[in-house]
Amino acid sequence: MPERKKGLMIVVSGPAGSGKDTVLAELQGDERFRRSVSATTRAPRPGEVDGRDYHFITRETFEQWIADGEMLEYTEYCGNYYGTPKKAAEAVMESGTNLILKIEVEGAANVERLYPEAVTIMLLPPTAAVLEARLRGRGTESEEVIRTRLARAREEVAHVKDYDYVVYNHDGRAAEAAEMIRRIVEVEGHSTARNPHIAEAYFA
């Protein structure tokens, strides 16, 4: 049976409150998937580890990496650079492991242009009301901040049509959303468009 050797590039986007990190954490430990570690110029948040959560680098270094062609894609988001280091990403896919990029909508559109074979997934809370409730969280933020975040989320959701798949993340059911991502990837592995030499290989 011919096997597809290279891993797939899987783009996961979703507005704040979609629970991307929780869902992707469910895929940790599954050797078929590896998260790409992005580079960023933003400061680490408490608990974040350099090299695990992000490569935390200076603007100068980031711009040097861009100039050297080291970035597969990058974007400026809320005043900071974020990007996917190219060599590490390609090494993961070459090894046959599926690579997960957790990136925002603009980066996802860039990836789609450069790698049309990428599988793009938007993760959403099940309804707009749940999205709002999650953004309001414990009510520690001002109404103005919440409104800004809601407006941004609305803009991001508007891009859902540009994605191949949508996955809903219900409260407390992140494992189900992760399972849906696994299934999508499994089905994509059976795509004849992705495996154009099946007949030749079959009779070889």
Is 82 an interacting residue with respect to ligand 5GP (CB under 6 A)? yes
Pick the closer one to ligand 5GP by CB: 16 or 184. 16
At 70 the three-state DSSP class reads coil
Q: What token pair was written down for 158?
A: 């508007």
State which of residues 7, 9, 10, 102 lies at the interface with ligand 5GP (CB under 6 A). 102
- Least Cβ distance, residue 100 to ligand 5GP (angstroms): 11
Cβ–Cβ < 8 Å for 89, 103: no
Phi, psi of 134 (to 5 degrees): -70, -40
Q: Which stretch binds ligand 5GP (CB under 6 A): 75-83, 115-123, 145-153, 174-182?
A: 75-83
Cβ–Cβ < 8 Å for 80, 40: yes
Q: Is 20 left (phi over 0), alpha (psi -120 to 50) or beta?
A: alpha
Pick the closer one to ligand 5GP by CB: 162 or 186. 162
Residue of 16, 22, 19, 18 whose CA lies nearest to 150? 16
Print the binding letters for residues 11-50 with ligand 5GP: x by CB under 6 A, - otherwise: ---------------------------x---x--------
Interacting residues with ligand 5GP (CB under 6 A): 38, 42, 73, 75, 77, 82-84, 102-104, 107
